[in-house]
Structure 1
Amino acid sequence: MTAANPRSNRKPKGEGHSRRGEILAAAERIFVEHGYEGATIRKIADAVGLSSTALYMHFADKGEILQEICREAFARLIEATRDLAETPAPPEVRLRRMIEAYVTFGFDHPNAYRLIYLTRPAEAREGAQTMAQEMGGGLFDSFEAAVAETVRAGRMTGEPTLIAQAIWASAHGVVSLMITKPYFPWAERQALVDTTLDAVFGGLLKS
């Protein structure tokens, strides 16, 4: 019997953009499952049917892969919230929709969310924290601007930065707990999100 070719599952060369996306998707999963230090180039390469040498044609090292995962994740999140920020609606409505989009992103992309918002020391050193500060800072600024507009409209009272951080912390708490503690007997997800945000906005908005 002829021995199976160990590389038979590898795809043809080419399709650079598609291949790059496959590498990022595999690495995102492996970083979460094995930790940054346990995620080797070999593991990532094997997951997409490449040799380690071929993978280096796309990325210089796993630090560059991590930074690209974070950059793409933030880009998706920024795009989702930017359109909502510009939608014609009362400022408090736009603000609520923006934080709901943030929550939805976290649940739709739990691995990316872990890497950009639940960064471990090794990942922080390799650029995840820098990317969070650069792109995440801009994202928070747009959210804070929506809060400031709501305050100017007389719908909230207080310091915009403090209010924005309180709302964000509440949303992050729900997302991070539910994706990292799946064994807990959580209530229905949307009901929990709605109840949390209703309580936060109910305490901040003027009647």
Structure 2
Amino acid sequence: MSLREEILDVSKELLLKHGFSKISMRKIARKADVTATSIYLHFENKDDLLLALVEESIAKLNKVLRNALDEAASPIEQLKSLTDAYVDFALKNPQEYEIIYMVRPEEMPKYPKEKFQQVREIYELLAGIIKRGKERNLFDVEDPLVSAYTLWAQIHGVVSVVLGKRLDTRVPIERFLDLATDHIIQGFIIQKTPA
């Protein structure tokens, strides 16, 4: 592991444990057993370090989603694949997931406008699938981009219940995830009335 990766790992741990306002370059250096000066060789300041964590986590999620996408599959199958990949990423990488979505925005440095493109890629990918589904008369939606954000908000809610340990203990996690994601996707599909 490179020094940069080690610094990012330590920073991630401290960020999630104490919050952005309570970590410092000195604390990161102490925990990583390096000098603060060596951190500044890789990162301009604490904001730069946090933005690197966010960017790295988003890149990992983007890669997972793109790898899950079968271009030949129907839009319904693609939505299911992306939803499953998203949930799987969140459960297997809870720290990265939390950094992307759950770090309190008031503590975060302002995310540079040009970096938002990486975040938008996820929603644009999803909106494209929803648009194709609408064109094929599979999805009942008005605005594919709004629908993409709505779908992601719903999936985020499902994942947050599991990661936050808020799920009723009588409900098996796997069953909850399967049924919840299926219900969300079904909400977009045009229901055919039997003849």
Normalised by the size of structure 1, how large is the TM-score?
0.81
State which drifts further: 34-43 or 163-172.
163-172
In structure 1, which of residues 8, 18, 21 is the aligned counterpart of residue 2 of structure 2?
A: 18
- Contact persistence 1:22–1:48 (CA under 8 A): yes
Q: 2:81 corresponds to which residue?
A: 97
Q: 1:5 corresponds to which residue?
A: none
Tell me how large the CA RMSD over aligned residues is. 2.2
Deviation string 1:77-102 (CA, Å, 9 cap, x unpaired) is: 11111233343211110111112212
Q: Distance in 2 between matches of 1:158 and 1:182?
A: 32
Q: Distance in 1 between matches of 2:168 and 2:114?
A: 34
Are residues 25 and 127 of structure 1, via their aligned partners in 2, closer, same or farther at CA, if it must alter by over 3 Å? farther
Give the secondary structure class of the aligned counterpart of 2:137: coil
Q: Which amino acid aligns with 2:30?
A: D
Larger Rg: 1
Q: Distance in 2 between matches of 1:131 and 1:97?
A: 29
Q: 1:111 corresponds to which residue?
A: 95
How many residues align? The count is 189
Q: Structure 1: 5+ residue runs without aligned partners?
A: 1-16
Q: 2:54 corresponds to which residue?
A: 70
Give the secondary structure class of the aligned counterpart of 1:155: coil
Taking every aligned residue pair, what percent have the same amino acid on both sides? 25
Q: Distance in 2 between matches of 1:74 and 1:131?
A: 14
Q: Which amino acid aligns with 2:37?
A: T
Q: 1:142 corresponds to which residue?
A: 125
Give the secondary structure class of the aligned counterpart of 2:71: coil
Deviating 4+ runs (over 6 angstroms) = none
Q: 1:11 corresponds to which residue?
A: none
Q: Structure 2: 5+ residue runs without aligned partners?
A: none
Q: Distance in 1 between matches of 2:166 and 2:128?
A: 37
In structure 2, which of residues 104, 128, 131 is the aligned counterpart of residue 120 of structure 1?
A: 104
In structure 2, which of residues 141, 156, 164 is the aligned counterpart of residue 158 of structure 1?
A: 141
Normalised by the size of structure 2, how large is the TM-score?
0.86
